[in-house]
Every structure is written in C-alpha cells, then in structure tokens.
Amino acid sequence: VSAAYLVVAATTVVAATLASGYFRRFQPMRPPIGVMNLRDVVIMLGAIVALPYVYLTLPLWVVAVLFSGAILGALYFVWEPVLESRARIWTACLLLLGADLVLALTRGTTDGGFLLVNNLLLVTVVVGVTNLWAQSGMKARDVAVLAVGLAVFDVIATSRLTVMTDLVTRLSGMPLLPVVTWRASGGARGLAIGLGDLLLASLFPLVLRKSFGRRAGSVALVVSVCVIATMLAVIDLRLVRTPIPAMVVLGPLMALQYGYWRARRGSERTTLEYLRAEPLPSGTSSEVAPV
Amino acid sequence: MLETAVASLRFGASMTLGVRFNLRSLERLVGAMLETTREFGGIGSEGAELLAGPGLDDDTRREMQLRRFRSQALRAMRTTSYYGNLFAQAGLDPAELSHEGIATIPLTPKEALRGDPDAFVNRTVRPSLRATTTGTTGWPTSVQFSRYEMRALVALASIAVILRRQVEADDLVQIGISSRAILGVTGVMGACANIGAAVYLAGLLDPEHTLALLTERRSIPGKRERVSVMSTYPSYLGEIVETGLRLGYGPKDFGLRRLLVGGELLTQGLRARCQRLFGPVELVSNYGMTELAPFGGNVCSQEHLHFDPSGGLVEVLDLETRRPAGHGQAGSIVATPFFPYRETTLLLRYDTEDVIRTVAGPLTCEMRNLPATSNILGKRRLSVRHDGGWTFLRDVVEALEGVEAVPLPARFGLWATSDGVGVEVLARSDAPEVGDAIHSRLEQEGVPVRELRVVTDRAALRQPIPLRGDLRDGSLAHAGGRGGSNGSSPPRPHAAVLASGGAS
C-alpha cells in the first residue's frame, strides 16, 4: 500500500478514536433547550442536497468565508471544555485556522505541510461536531436514517450526476479543503475521504454507545474504520478506478447495526439513562440534573 | 433543535419587543423543553437564562417598560370604552407619556372593573372565556380572555412548571382549588396535559374526603402510586393539615412531594406543621390573580416576590399618599399587564390592593435578575392603620399559625384600637396560658396587641377574615350519605377514622 493510504487510513482511525475518547471525557456546550431529532436530520439532509449546488454557484471567496465561520465555530466547541480559558481557546482556534489559510495561500493546496495541517483541522472538526450532535441527544435511529439518506444521495450525486466530482474539483484549490487527503511527494495519485463520510463514521459509534452500550459503540467503531480502510485499500491497489461513494457501504451497515441492537436491547437509552449506567470518569463535569 | 432555535428566537422577540406570541412556536418550545427534560433529566441554568432573557439594568428596564406601557395605553384608549373616556376626560395622550407621567393616569380600582367589566374589553378582539374571581373579598370580578390568551397562558404555565420541575411526567396531580377558579385550573391542567402528568380536579371538598384522595393508592402505569403534587390555597392546606393530624394521619400515609400554593398567605407555621403531616414536602408559592393573568410573581428562596418586567409594570404606591413607596416602605401593588400577555381585558394601573414592602438591592437570591418586592403582606382593606403605623395580615397570621394552640388555618379578626390593634382568634382552649402564648407571639411579630380575645367556638368570632379554604365544591358522595350517584362510596383507606371524624 502507498503512503497516502497509510496517512488517510490512520487519520480516519485517529478521528474516530479521538471522537470516542472525547465523548467520555468532555462535554461541549450544547444548546440548552432542544434535542437533535428526526426533524433536524430531515433538515440536514435537505441542506446536504442543496449545499453542493450553492457552493458551485457562489464565488470561491464567499465559500471560503462560509467554511471559515463554520469551522471556527466547530473548533471553538471542541476546545472550549478542554482548554477552558477563553484566551487559550481562541489562540488554539485561530492558530489552526490561520495555519491552514496561510499554508494554502503561500504553498498551495497540494503541499504536504498544508495537507497535514488541513487533515489535523478536519480531525478536530470531526471530534467537535460528532460530540456536539451525540451529546445533544441524537438518537441512533436518526443517525441511521441520515446514513441511509446520504447513501441514496451519494449514489445519485456521485454515480449519476457530476455534482460531487465538480464540487471536489472546484474546491481543491481552496483552503479549508473538506476532504482528508494525502499525496506522496512527486506521486500523481492521492487518496481522500470526504469530511461528511468521516463525520458519519465517527458519529455512529458515539450514538450507539449512548443508546445501546459500550459493546455496540465499539463494534460500530471497528466496523466504520474497517470499511473505510478497505475501501481506501481497494482504490489504492487500483482494484477500482473510480471514486467509491463511502456512504453507499457505510449507510446500510449502520442501518443493519441499528436494527440489530434495537432488536436485541429494546428501546434506546436517553442521555440521562446512559450517564446513570455509565457515569463519566471523575473530574468530568456532568450537566445531567441530579435525580 | 433547529426548530427550537427558531422558536426560542421568536419567544425572545415577543419578550423583548412586545410582539404577539407565535403560539405554534410557543408550543414547540414547550415540546422542546419536555424533550430536553426527558433526554437529560432537566433544563440547565443556561436554559433558564435563555427563557428569562438577559437581566436588565434599571435604565434599560424603565425604558422598555415605558414603551410597553405606552403601547398598551394606546391600545386601551382606542379599543375600550373605559379608557377611551378616561383619557378623553383627563386630556392625556398615551403616546406622549413619560415614565413620571404614568403616575398621572388615574388608578383603576377593583370596583370599576367589578361594576362594568365589559367596559374594559378590547372591541377588536373576540373574547372566548369569561373568568371570574372566587369572590372571597366581595362580589366576583369577571375578566374576559381570548383563545389566543388561553393558549398562551397554558404554554407559559407549562414553561414555568417544566423549568422549575414542579410537575413531572410520573406525577399524580390533585387540584384542590375552587373549580370556579377557571384560570388556575386551566393553567395547571394544561401544563399537566403537556407534561404528561395525570391530573385530577378535586376542588375544595371536605378535608376528610381530600385526605382520602391523597392517601388513595392507584396503579396507573408509569405514574406514582399516590398523589404526588397538589395545588391548593394555604388556608385549605391548613384545614387539611389540621384535620389530618387530628385523625392520626402521618407521613407514611402520603406520597406528596410538592405542594403548589397561592392566592393567600403561606406562613412559616403552616410550613412547619405541613412537614409533620406529609413529611419532607416542598412548598412552592406564587402570586397571581385573575385580573392580571398570566402576569404574576414568583417567590424566591429568600421570600422576595419577583416580577418579570416584560410581562407588566408593577408600581408600589404608598398606602396613604398613593405616591411611589420609598425603600423598605409598605405599599400596594398597582399593576399593568402588557401585550402580548394581555389583549382582551385591558387594565392600566390596576389597584390590586395587595400590600407588599419595597426591598432595597442588591439582591442575592436566585431570581436576582428580576425586580422584587417583599412577599405579600395582605390586602389593604383588611390591614389596620393605628397610631403606631400599619398592622398587616401577615404580621398577625405568621404569629398565630406559629402557636400550636391555634388550629390551622388561623381564624381571626383584626381591628384598630387607639394605639394598636385588637385581635380575636379561634384557639383550642381559652385558658390564660394560651392567651399569654398568643399575645407573646403577636408581640414578637411586632403586632401592637391592645386587646386580645381568644374564643374556642368559630361562631363566636365577630369579624373573621374571609378564607378561600371555606369555599366548597359540592360532592355527591357526601350529599346524602349513601355513596355517589352510582351507589359506590368514595375510597376510604381510613374508613374507621373518617367515620369518627364525620363529614361537615
């Protein structure tokens, strides 16, 4: 296998593992009222379908500004419970974001230094966003619905339409590249996995852990990582020469896992029930009201 | 969550800008609060702050309230005959009012509303409910409400109840207030329905019957075994406590965990005796009246009465000069409920006759962001002016209900003497030591007792203070002594004891 494979696969493992570790150690500030629910998933799916067209239409600098805002928010969420001091949080956020922007503008988006920083940035975003969603009470059922919806969208957008290919091509010269990628120096081929795929792969283990327990979460983590690693290997070994829509494989597997655990364990646990059954390690602040 | 964010923004806009509540958003917010409670076990302090809005400094609050007052005064002038005439006669333009100018608008006395309630109804709104007061202090006053107001009232009551975790989904709730108190009943019932708690309107029955209901064991899936929350008046609660202790009930007989009381004065003596009957039960009191609903006050842990400035304007007027009361002085509450809380029966500077004392800041309680007064001291018309100043019902009732020899609720009369007050009170005994204990306790509370008359027969009281607990709802089960309309008896877990207590 290539170095690109090793870097992208390792980044996937790191992102999913860090998200799970963060889930048991830190609590990002969730919205004080409201729970992530099926309506949010439907709205999210609508946005996922519409946004590629928006990004293809808007000037690149506007897209960069929008990405910057969203990423800055995600970075703040992830660092807030870790660093606590506002000065330290903003320093960490701006350093990472600034490094990505400066490297992209000075060395280009194919430079190894830029890709390293960009991958690091995306891993941080994945940890923050997945934890924000999972710790906002998102249900495994809703993630399964989202995954299946994305699988359908992926088939259409990647296989039937050119929208995703056009989008990746357009954004490839932009900082804050929304794909984890690596390209060996001098090598013509690179490997990449989209931010959305990485988000879902890292999110599902968290909600399964919350809803059905440690074993369900661990199995989901292994399945997600192995599936992505296998798909990357298939491409890296040139067994397939076209992009593979990752959610087409991940989506149905997530739905199957949800169905299995639902049948086996019954209804999903709420966050309150999860934290009662598996209290966070001492020293971790818990926002769950005492009973 | 996205819908909730939109609903929160709309709620915030209504609170801060005074625009009409979007009822769907308001109800969505209630749903989101329930989802949050179910998922996380409660709403955190950030959620409470989000709903309460930011704490306002005095200048900002005055500015916001002036705008809202002007707007409500304009609405009242244009749409009600009472205020149309009043502004025309006074030659006042509500749009030009300054904060100081508000005081130039004549007070609206209870008698005016009682005498011609329709003159206060906004002619551009379609009323759908006529609510009346219980009439404890005179002929009932009626207030009209629109469908919008009723839906908003239920949603706002739900928000308050969920936020303070006063009722939860597994609760069995018994409403022990007059069934004619339609607003209170609707608010509690609506909130319970939203929360998923099982609620029962018992009304004001004989205390023995109420005790039987409170001790009755149920087996409703997902609910507690016995009544866990009761909403009632302090005087009726006093009667239940008195009867319960007399009949030998104790904490093991009940499943109550919270009592929601309002409409009268809740005393420390009642609190203490309540614990003896029910065990460690939480007593929550608030301030509300039909004329102002849903605008009202909440009592904090330091016994302040807090008002949300977005809901209405509260002025505290000196009892004699009728000018704003100074720090620490007693005065009566003059209130103006604002839109969007109130749109049908419009009241400006309504004289509630409820006496409080102003409090000087800074406050240190959990509701310190909201303006506050002391807790209610009593009705002005039932307070007594004497050479030494004023004696209020709270001074007297706190003292009396703190004396074991005085049965609950304290039944007493109060009148002025040349240099103090005369008190008559119903006690278990008229022995000299009982009189001494009562006298001493009254003096401890600062009541200048010059005459004390202790009686053991309620009928011997010459001018007893009226109590809401004496209102009664009919009960078929007790009417003929032969069971209910279907021939069955009410549940009697303590049948032998009840038989000896009898039904009054």
User: Per-residue pLDDT for B232 more than 50?
Assistant: yes
Do B111 and B97 meet the contact criterion of CB atoms below 8 Å apart? no
Contact yes or no for A164/A233 (Cβ under 8 A): no
Contact flag B41-A33 (C-beta cutoff 8 Å): no
pLDDT tens for residues B385-413? 988 889 999 999 999 999 999 999 999 99
Q: Among A155-169, B271-285, B298-312, B354-368, which range has the highest average pLDDT?
A: B271-285
**Residue B486 pLDDT greater than 50, yes or no:** no
Beta bridge partners of B230: B174, B259
Nearest CA in chain B to A132: B1
Q: At what angle do helices A195-212 and A140-154 cross, to 10 degrees?
A: 160
Return the pLDDT at A188: 55
Interchain proximity A37–B50, CB inside 8 Å: no
Alpha carbon distance A198, B497 (integer Å): 70
pLDDT of residue B504: 25
**A33·B39 Cβ contact <8 A:** no
Q: What is the complex's ipTM, to 2 decimals?
A: 0.83
Which residue, among B65, B48, B67, has the nearest Cα to B56 in the 3D structure?
A: B65
As a whole number of angstroms, the distance between CA A196 and CA A158 comes to 14
Number of DSSP helices (H) and strands (E) in chain A, helices first = 11, 2
C-alpha atoms less than 13 angstroms from C-alpha of B143 in its C-beta half-sphere = 26
- Reported confidence tier of residue B500, pLDDT bands at 50, 70, 90: very low
Q: Does residue B497 register a pLDDT over 50? A: no
Tell me whether A285 touches chain B (CB under 8 Å): no
For residue range B184-217, list pLDDT tens digits in order. 899 999 999 999 999 999 999 999 999 999 999 9
Tell whether B42 is within 8 A of chain A (Cβ).
Answer: yes
- Contacting residues of A for B29, CB less than 8 Å apart: 33
Which of B8, B40, B47 shows the shortest C-beta gap to A137? Answer: B40
pLDDT higher at B17 or B103: B103
Cis peptide before B340 (omega within 30 of 0): yes
- What pLDDT does residue A189 have? 66
Q: What is the mean pLDDT of residues B43-72?
A: 84
pLDDT (0 to 100) of residue A181: 86
Residue B2 near chain A (CB below 8 Å): yes
Distance, in angstroms, between A63 CA and closest chain B CA? 22
| CA-based nearest residue to A100, from A86, A84, A114, A120 | A114
B50/A32 Cβ within 8 A = yes
Question: Which residue of chain B has the CA closest to A272?
Answer: B40
- What is the number of other CB atoms lying within 10 angstroms of the CB of residue B269? 21
Ordered per-residue pLDDT tens for chain A, 291 residues: 788 889 999 999 999 999 999 999 988 888 888 898 898 889 988 888 888 888 888 988 898 899 899 999 999 989 998 888 899 999 999 999 999 999 988 988 888 888 999 999 999 999 999 999 999 999 999 999 999 998 998 888 777 777 777 887 888 888 888 888 887 655 556 788 888 899 999 999 999 999 999 999 999 999 999 999 999 888 888 888 777 888 889 999 999 999 999 999 989 999 999 999 998 886 665 444 333
Window A:113-142, CB contacts with B under 8 Å: 136-137
So what's the pLDDT on residue B488? 40
- The band of B146, judged by pLDDT with boundaries at 50, 70 and 90, is very high
Task: Please report residues of A whose CB lies closer than 8 A to that of B49.
Answer: 32
* CB pair distance less than 8 Å for B1 and A270: no
Q: Which residues on A lie below 8 Å from B32 (Cβ)?
A: 33-35
pLDDT over 60 (residue B478):
no
Chain B residue with CA closest to A30: the answer is: B46
Q: What is the pLDDT of residue B55?
A: 72
**A33–chain B Cβ distance below 8 A for any pair:** yes
pTM as predicted: 0.81
**Which is higher by pLDDT, B419 or B234?**
B234
Quick check: A87 contacting B, CB < 8 Å? no
**A211 in Cβ contact with A277 (< 8 Å):** no
Closest Cα in chain A, distance from residue B45 (Å):
8
pLDDT of residue A186: 54
> In this complex, is the C-beta atom of B50 within 8 Å of any C-beta atom belonging to chain A?
yes
Q: Which amino acid is at B316?
A: V
B249 alpha carbon, distance to own chain's centre: 27
- Tell me what the pLDDT averaged over chain B comes to: 88
pLDDT of residue B483: 38
Q: Any bridge partners for residue B389, and if so which? A: B386
| DSSP conformation letters of B114-140 | HH-GGGGB-TTS-EEEEEE---TTSSP
